[in-house]
Amino acid sequence: MIAVKLRQEDICGEAEFLQAVEEEYDYWFLEDVPESAKIKYRLQGFLFPETYAITKDMTARDIVTLMLDQFDKTITADMKKKAESLDTTMFEVVTEASIIERETMVDSERVTVAGVIKNRLEKGMLLQMCPTALYPITDGIYDKNTVTYEDTKVDSPYNTYVNKGLPIGPIACPGLES
């Protein structure tokens, strides 16, 4: 979605941006991103959603760095310690938060969605979250609003209707509320 917006604003091409998100960046929170996982977009979830002052002379890498810097400023040491105390990685936290972000746009519902995810994970249940089925179908664009029965059967490591636990990676870039 970011790549499309940058193209529409004539900042950079989609391919240029998608190439930039596959490059190496030196941030502590990227250390948890599994190298071997077949994640669609390596930096998905870590490009912090914010209002940015982007100029036409910025490169795609400059924009990615700007967004990663914002993630780094937003996620505090206390948040990192909390994740560690729960024996979870920042990658897993962001993956779960990305589901919450796509599941509801209403801040007051985020706690409820988080509770549903927590309870289902603890019970070993399938999460069965619609955005995880839509992510592979729409290539992360989410230009389809309804999930059909057939959609829930899509063979993808992101689809929590057919795979237990969290998807293999984030399905969106979550905001701080998620």
Give the tens place of pLDDT for each residue, 71-85.
999 998 899 999 999
Residue 43 pLDDT > 80: yes
3-state DSSP assignment of residue 20? helix
Read off the pLDDT of each residue in 9-36 and give the average, rounded to a whole number.
92
Q: Residue 147: pLDDT band by 50, 70, 90 thresholds?
A: very high
Q: pLDDT value at position 40?
A: 87
Read off the pLDDT of each residue in 104-120 and give the average, rounded to a whole number.
96
Residue 36 pLDDT > 80: no
Q: Which of 8-17, 30-39, 163-172 has the lowest mean pLDDT?
A: 30-39
Compute the mean pLDDT over every residue in the chain, rounded to the nearest whole number: 94
* Cβ atoms 16, 22 nearer than 8 A: no
Q: Residue 137: pLDDT band by 50, 70, 90 thresholds?
A: very high
% pLDDT > 70, the chain: 99
Q: What is the pLDDT of residues 52-69, one digit of tens each?
A: 999 989 999 999 999 999
Q: pLDDT value at position 106?
A: 95
Residue 163 pLDDT > 90: yes
Give the integer Cα–Cα distance in Å for 5 and 177.
23
Residue 125 pLDDT > 90: yes
Residue 47 pLDDT > 90: yes
CA distances from 140 to 40, 54, 83, 175 (A): 9, 23, 26, 16
Q: pLDDT value at position 90?
A: 93
Cα 148 from chain centre: 22
Q: Which amino acid is at 83?
A: A
Read off the pLDDT of each residue in 134-145 and give the average, rounded to a whole number.
92
**Does the global pTM surpass 0.75?**
yes
